[in-house]
């Protein structure tokens, strides 16, 4: 028998707001207020000039000033979200076995703002002016490292790096580490702060981003016929997950069961999905099987839904292949329509959205859905939230390099 693994705490730092209450309210509202002109740097020379930034973020409200200055922005997001999750879970670290408490946090890009700043120092001032904190600030595993130093966790600790599938891979690994008996409790999720000049320039050059500079809040439009690319986002979502026994022993409140995980790779192209979605289909099927449920049990799908022409069409195809005619009856929505694309943190913020919808009796909308696409013809919950009871859901993440990672969550007690 597989150990039951449950979610007992969540922390969110997002373009839609800080904390679970603000994030839930924003999901219900169906607004894209988070998307607007980039304020972090001058974008006058860029073809895309907007993104979904985390506004009014002051790490010193949560982290010692000296420590915060030695963390990249993505690590600050991760540490703050982890603090929120641990507090939300009411996890007393003095009362658990720290050697059996671990961390897996994913990120696609990591400390790129630090790399850019220190490379500028190298070119303008020479190698002696490069910060001694460059390496520990830019490496992706440092998000988990800083969280461990903050809370004292001494169990398995590493990072997953698989582009936009990073967070779902982290969640899946955390699930398996607990199931295999390597840990009783894990801190897991994803963090990203990739809205930087170099990242923006790279995505612009790849023609991956929407260029609706005149209507940024209308730019992220997953599954809409007139979609023209994704909107960059940033932030973090971190979870406390633990065995059911461990959660019960400390009287924890349980949000949901982290029930299944499936992962594959297209082995096809560096950025484009496989045209027949063969591996994405397998990832969804494996996650459902791992959860011990059937396709008939799934009553909500949080799609990867990037708002790019190829992804949305291919993901729709995959869902039809997995669920057959029933695909047309399952509500599907894209969190990215409101948050933008959080890259390596996307799967985490989207799982948080899924669990919050499950616990609050609604399905958040896919906003900016105005013109139906014949190749994307499922129920995308357009533009307005829908009251519904979710008992079993999947959350898809599909990354550059062909990485597919799918998570299944079940309403706790719904066996």
Catalytic annotation, pick one of 169, 246, 274, 304: 304
d(C-alpha 119, C-alpha 101), whole Å = 36
Question: How many alpha carbons lie under 13 Å from residue 66 in its C-beta half-sphere?
Answer: 0
304 is catalytic: yes
Beta bridge partners of 162: 164
341 is catalytic: yes
d(C-alpha 387, C-alpha 171), whole Å = 27
What's phi and psi for 380, nearest 5 deg?
-95, 15
Q: How far is CA 47 from CA 43, 54, 116, 195, 213, in A?
A: 8, 21, 20, 14, 8
Q: Are 176 and 5 contacting, i.e. CB atoms less than 8 angstroms apart? A: no
What's phi and psi for 14, nearest 5 deg?
-140, 165
Q: Are 143 and 373 contacting, i.e. CB atoms less than 8 angstroms apart? A: no
Catalytic annotation, pick one of 341, 364, 376, 403: 341
Catalytic annotation, pick one of 164, 357, 376, 392: 164
d(C-alpha 25, C-alpha 151), whole Å = 29
d(C-alpha 370, C-alpha 212), whole Å = 15
What's phi and psi for 271, nearest 5 deg?
-130, -35
Q: How many CB atoms lie within 10 A of CB 68?
A: 18
164 is catalytic: yes
Q: Are 357 and 27 contacting, i.e. CB atoms less than 8 angstroms apart? A: yes
So which residues are the catalytic ones? Answer: 164, 304, 341
């Amino acid at each position: 028998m597989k150990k039951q693994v449950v979610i007992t705490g969540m922390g969110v730092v997002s373009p839609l707001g800080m904390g679970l209450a603000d994030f839930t309210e924003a999901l219900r509202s169906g607004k894209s207020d988070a998307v607007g002109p980039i304020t972090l740097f001058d974008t006058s020379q860029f073809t895309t000039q907007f993104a979904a930034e985390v506004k009014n973020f002051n790490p010193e409200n949560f982290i010692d000033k000296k420590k915060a200055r030695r963390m990249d922005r993505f690590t600050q997001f991760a540490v703050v979200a982890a603090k929120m999750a641990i507090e939300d879970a009411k996890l007393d670290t003095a009362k658990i076995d720290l050697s059996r408490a671990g961390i897996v946090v994913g990120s696609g890009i990591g400390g790129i703002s630090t790399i850019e700043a220190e490379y500028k120092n190298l070119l303008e001032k020479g190698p002696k002016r490069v910060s001694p904190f460059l390496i520990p600030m830019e490496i992706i595993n440092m998000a988990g490292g800083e969280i461990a130093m903050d809370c004292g966790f001494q169990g398995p600790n590493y990072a997953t790096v698989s582009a936009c599938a990073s967070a779902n891979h982290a969640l899946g690994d955390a699930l398996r580490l607990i199931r295999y008996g390597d840990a009783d409790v894990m801190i897991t999720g994803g963090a990203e702060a990739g809205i930087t000049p170099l990242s923006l320039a790279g995505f612009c050059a790849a023609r991956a981003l929407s260029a609706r500079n005149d209507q940024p809040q209308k730019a992220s439009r997953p599954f809409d016929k007139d979609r023209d690319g994704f909107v960059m986002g940033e932030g973090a979502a971190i979870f406390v997950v633990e065995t059911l026994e461990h959660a019960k022993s400390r009287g924890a409140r349980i949000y949901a069961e982290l029930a299944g995980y499936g992962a594959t790779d297209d082995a096809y192209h560096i950025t484009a999905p496989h045209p027949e979605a063969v591996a994405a289909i397998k990832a969804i099927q494996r996650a459902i099987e791992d959860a011990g449920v059937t396709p008939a049990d799934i009553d909500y799908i949080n799609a990867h839904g990037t708002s790019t022409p190829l992804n949305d069409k291919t993901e729709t195809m995959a869902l039809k292949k997995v669920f057959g005619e029933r695909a047309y009856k399952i509500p599907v929505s894209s969190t990215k329509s409101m948050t933008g694309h959080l890259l390596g943190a996307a799967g985490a913020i989207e799982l948080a959205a899924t669990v919050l919808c499950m616990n609050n009796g609604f399905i958040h909308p896919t906003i900016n859905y105005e013109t139906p696409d014949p190749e994307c013809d499922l129920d995308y919950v357009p533009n307005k939230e829908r009251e519904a009871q979710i008992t079993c859901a999947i959350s898809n993440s599909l990354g550059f390099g062909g990485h597919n990672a799918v998570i299944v969550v079940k309403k706790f007690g719904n066996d």
